[in-house]
């Protein structure tokens, strides 16, 4: 939901008009899918990375407005919390040295941004969840100044009618009540975009759903929230709860949540947009002037603004994207599963694994989603988030299997095959997938490193939890700037904030 909106009050008429316009948009989309009007001859990939800003003590720094003014770069955008910013990397083909070009572009942009952030008292941190974040940091006052965030906050709480009960049971237990959506700002992710043809969309989306749990197991990097050790990827349950518009009674009735894994394999991208319209009332019923069917009848391409806006307020972990660029529409799968970090090269290794694996799975004659239930994929998703690299997941013909073993035995060869199909340079393929292999062999990802370091500081160093989290973050940031993969980091390295 990246578009700018004004803070406004919605009427009953606004909601009726919006629902009608969504139905018109679905009719227009049906016609466009039937007539094959989409661009897909040169599939592009895209990348978004959400980042945290911290001060010299490792505390969240609410300076995103000042940092963005200093950057003056449209690639960097505001995010929900004043201690967040986001970088949008221009789309590229991943064939040849495309992945290396992505990595070089991200490193260059982040290094420059970090230098400018320091002039405003901030430093950039790429992690799934800032380990030093405490409840006092996520009050309503920390919400970014953009009216769309205040409006979204108002609409979510109006739908709920009460404060949110946040309850996460992991290694330790967190239970509290929150009165704004600002804790969502704790969740910082990497979003991977893949442009696909309409005919192939279902295959790629189903493949992405099937491997989401493995992605989390490999890439988990969010083990601490509010001083507590919870899930290895605590970002998942936090995000599921903090944007939930349902009071307890609607949960008991089985009303679907807005942060949603889904409930079935699909046969068309239309299935997802139609579910959005059928199951979810509008949070932001803002209508544009253009009638999509009239635009289509005039021989032009409709932007389907209402469909896109509604889609942006339903938080699927693999989200369908409809967009129009230079007058031509296209479809993308937006993979929103992964946390940010620990390093740029770790993020690119995660991306290479994803792009390669979904390509192979989407091309199979007997797809994996015909051999496993959707509920098994959803269970894998939450098991991967809870246990990280130590997770045991289900896979067809193997049954329950350790995630690392599954990757090494079955999935990594498929990722190699898929990157070859994309035309990725073999040296880049081997370098990035080699990081995934060593991560599995060592059993060390971002979450594992964070937890081991904090435990060492507590057990051997005699530190209490909060000082240990600050010291761990100091070491994390120094290691992050080396761009060495996390499985090579030493937990004992004596770094600290200056």
pLDDT in tens, 19-33: 999 999 999 999 999
Q: Pick 8 or 146 by higher pLDDT.
A: 146
Q: Which residues contact 71 (CB under 8 A, 6 or more apart)?
A: 113, 116
For 83-105, the pLDDT digits (tens) are 999 999 999 999 999 999 999 99
- The mean pLDDT value for 287-306 works out to 95
CA pair distance 134, 397, nearest whole angstrom: 44
> Is 228 in a helix, a strand, or coil?
strand
Q: Is the pLDDT of residue 498 over 60?
A: no
- The mean pLDDT value for 316-334 works out to 96
Neighbours of 417 (CB within 10 A): 14
Q: Is the pLDDT of residue 1 over 60?
A: no
pLDDT given for residue 2 in this prediction? 47
- The CA-to-CA distance between both ends of the chain, in Å, stands at 37
pLDDT given for residue 3 in this prediction? 52
> Is 115 in a helix, a strand, or coil?
helix
Pairing of strands 228-229, 259-260: unpaired
- The mean pLDDT value for 477-497 works out to 78
- The mean pLDDT value for 67-90 works out to 95
pLDDT band at 497 (very low <50, low <70, confident <90, very high): very low
Q: Positive or negative CA dihedral for 110, 483, 236, 305?
A: positive
Q: What is the pTM of this model?
A: 0.95
- The mean pLDDT value for 345-367 works out to 98
Q: Positive or negative CA dihedral for 150, 152, 154, 157?
A: negative
- The mean pLDDT value for 397-403 works out to 97
CA pair distance 358, 205, nearest whole angstrom: 9
pLDDT band at 9 (very low <50, low <70, confident <90, very high): confident
Q: Is the pLDDT of residue 156 over 70?
A: yes
Contact 218, 436 (CB under 8 A): yes
- Residue 222: φ, ψ to 5°: -140, 60
pLDDT given for residue 42 in this prediction? 80
**In the numeric block, which tokens belong to residue 67?**
């940092």
For 215-265, the pLDDT digits (tens) are 999 999 999 999 999 999 999 999 999 999 999 999 999 999 999 999 999
- The mean pLDDT value for 411-425 works out to 98
Q: Which residues contact 411 (CB under 8 A, 6 or more apart)?
A: 211, 214, 353, 357
DSSP for 323-370, written as a single string: EEETTEEEEEEEEEEEEP-S-HHHHHHHHHHHHHHHHHHHH-SS-GGG
CA pair distance 460, 417, nearest whole angstrom: 45
CA pair distance 420, 356, nearest whole angstrom: 8
Could you tell me what percent of the chain has a pLDDT over 70? 97
- The mean pLDDT value for 267-288 works out to 96
Q: Is the pLDDT of residue 493 over 90?
A: no
Q: Per the omega criterion (within 30 degrees of 0), is the bond before 350 cis?
A: no
Contact 436, 482 (CB under 8 A): no
CA pair distance 387, 303, nearest whole angstrom: 41
CA pair distance 404, 399, nearest whole angstrom: 14
pLDDT band at 37 (very low <50, low <70, confident <90, very high): confident
pLDDT given for residue 418 in this prediction? 98
> Is 376 in a helix, a strand, or coil?
helix
CA 294 from centre of chain: 35
pLDDT given for residue 5 in this prediction? 61
Least confident of 39-43, 202-206, 320-324, 398-402: 39-43
pLDDT band at 451 (very low <50, low <70, confident <90, very high): very high
Which helix (H) or strand (E) segment holds residue 99: the answer is: helix 98-118
CA pair distance 79, 417, nearest whole angstrom: 36
pLDDT given for residue 315 in this prediction? 96
Nearest to 85 by CA among 60, 107, 105, 58: 60
Q: Return the DSSP state at 84.
A: E
- The mean pLDDT value for 111-128 works out to 96
pLDDT given for residue 175 in this prediction? 97
Domains of the chain: 38-261+317-488 (3.30.590.20)
Which helix (H) or strand (E) segment holds residue 294: the answer is: helix 292-297
CA pair distance 116, 55, nearest whole angstrom: 13
Q: How far is CA 304 from CA 27, 111, 201, 342, in A?
A: 11, 37, 18, 37
Could you tell me what percent of the chain has a pLDDT over 90? 93
CA pair distance 378, 193, nearest whole angstrom: 21
């Amino acid at each position: 939901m990246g578009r700018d909106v004004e803070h406004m009050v919605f009427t009953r008429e606004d909601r009726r008009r919006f629902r009608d316009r969504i139905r018109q948009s679905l009719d227009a989309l049906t016609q466009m899918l039937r007539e094959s009007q989409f661009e897909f001859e040169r599939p592009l990939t895209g990348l978004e990375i959400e980042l945290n800003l911290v001060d010299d003590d490792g505390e969240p720094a609410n300076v995103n407005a000042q940092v963005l003014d200093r950057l003056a770069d449209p690639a960097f955008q505001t995010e929900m919390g004043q201690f967040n910013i986001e970088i949008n990397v221009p789309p590229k083909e991943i064939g040849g040295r495309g992945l290396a070009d992505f990595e070089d572009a991200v490193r260059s942009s982040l290094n420059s941004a970090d230098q400018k952030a320091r002039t405003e008292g901030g430093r950039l941190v790429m992690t799934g969840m800032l380990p030093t974040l405490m409840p006092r940091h996520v009050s309503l006052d920390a919400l970014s100044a953009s009216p769309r965030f205040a409006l979204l906050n108002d609409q979510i709480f109006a739908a709920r009618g009460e404060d949110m009960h946040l309850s996460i049971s992991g290694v330790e237990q967190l239970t509290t009540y929150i009165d704004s959506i600002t804790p969502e700002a704790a969740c910082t992710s990497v979003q991977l975009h893949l442009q696909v043809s309409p005919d192939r969309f279902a295959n790629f989306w189903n493949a992405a759903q099937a491997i989401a749990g493995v992605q989390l197991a490999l890439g988990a990097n969010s083990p601490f929230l509010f001083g507590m050790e919870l899930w290895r990827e605590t970002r998942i349950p936090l995000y599921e709860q903090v944007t939930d518009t349902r009071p307890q009674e609607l949960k008991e009735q089985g009303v679907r949540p807005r942060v949603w894994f889904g409930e079935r394999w699909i046969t068309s991208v239309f299935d997802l947009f139609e579910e959005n319209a059928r199951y979810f009332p509008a949070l932001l019923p803002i209508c544009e002037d253009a009638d999509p069917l009239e635009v289509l009848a005039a021989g032009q391409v409709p932007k389907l603004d209402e469909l896109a806006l509604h889609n942006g307020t339903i938080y699927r972990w693999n989200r369908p994207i409809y967009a129009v660029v230079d007058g031509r529409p296209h479809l993308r799968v937006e993979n929103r599963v992964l946390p940010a970090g620990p390093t740029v090269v770790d993020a690119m290794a995660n991306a290479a694994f994803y792009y390669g694996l979904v390509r192979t799975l989407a091309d199979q004659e007997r797809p994996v989603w015909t051999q496993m239930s959707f509920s098994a994929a959803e269970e894998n998703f939450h098991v991967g988030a809870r246990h990280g690299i130590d997770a045991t997941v289900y896979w067809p013909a193997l049954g329950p299997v350790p995630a690392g073993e599954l990757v090494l035995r079955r999935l990594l060869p498929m990722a190699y095959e898929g990157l070859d199909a994309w035309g990725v340079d073999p040296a880049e393929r081997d370098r990035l997938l080699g990081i995934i292999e060593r991560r599995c062999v060592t059993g060390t990802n971002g979450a594992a490193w964070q937890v081991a370091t904090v435990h060492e500081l507590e057990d051997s160093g005699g530190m209490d939890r909060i000082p240990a989290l600050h010291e761990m973050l100091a070491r994390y940031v120094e290691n992050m700037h080396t761009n060495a993969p996390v499985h090579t980091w030493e937990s004992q390295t004596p770094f600290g904030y200056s």
